[in-house]
Amino acid sequence: MAGFTGSTIGRKYAMALSAMFLLIFLVMHLSVNMLSVFSENAFNGASYFMGYNPAVQFLMQPILVFAVMFHFIMGFVLEIKNNKARPVKYAVNGSAANSTWMSRNMIISGAVILAFLGLHMYDFWLHEMNYKYVPGNGDPNDMTRFWGELHHKFSELWRVVLYVISFILLGLHLAHGFQSSFQSIGARHPKYTPMIKTLGKWYSILIPAGFIFIALYHFLTQS
């Protein structure tokens, strides 16, 4: 593993695999959260399952945490190595014309997403840990609390604005990252590459749009 991630190609490959795992996670995460728009009961049931099922808690969650951390750390490592190998900036050597702004600034959108995750973990994960494991914070086995907690989180405008800005940056990150992850694992083919690019375009629009919709739905339906 150390040898694999020690080479640039190995690092890019590992980075792409962690990205693909996170692409799948985002679809699952959006699906569960979208339930909160349609059915309070369904969202409570799904959240209880995700929060209390041992396979989710002790197998899937640690893998997810590892994938997120790996992706961010490796992203920064690759950026630093690329900058060292490329002392002449794009604007000077003219290669800006051959790449999009987003592909050149994945590190910026990535850093915004990382900052968002800090707030997001504070909002939901820390709250959940407090509720579950600190005695006196309520009944940890209450199956009906999740929807109300989520709905309440989106009652403040500043949070909704920060979330929506982050989701837009997430969309820009995905717009380049989706197809780039396929390229990095060598999935290049005259027939399939255009399909992957189209799929990536729609993915990077629909997934963030879904998250924005959820945040706005809860904000606008506060009573």
> Applying CB under 6 A, which residues contact ligand HEM?
29, 33, 51, 61, 64, 68, 113, 120, 124-125, 128, 150, 167, 170, 211, 214-215
Largest CA distance in the chain: 62
Comparison of 16 and 150: residue with beta carbon closer to ligand HEM: 150
Q: How far is the CB of 79 from ligand HEM (least distance, A)?
A: 19
CA angle (177, 124, 168) in 5-degree steps: 30
Q: How far is the CB of 173 from ligand HEM (least distance, A)?
A: 9
Comparison of 13 and 21: residue with beta carbon closer to ligand HEM: 21
CA angle (59, 110, 3) in 5-degree steps: 60
What's the length of the chain? 223
Q: How far apart are the C-alpha atoms of 70 and 20, rounded to whole Å?
A: 13
Contacts of 8 (CB under 8 A, 6+ apart): 78, 81
Q: How far is the CB of 134 from ligand HEM (least distance, A)?
A: 15
Comparison of 13 and 124: residue with beta carbon closer to ligand HEM: 124
Comparison of 16 and 67: residue with beta carbon closer to ligand HEM: 67
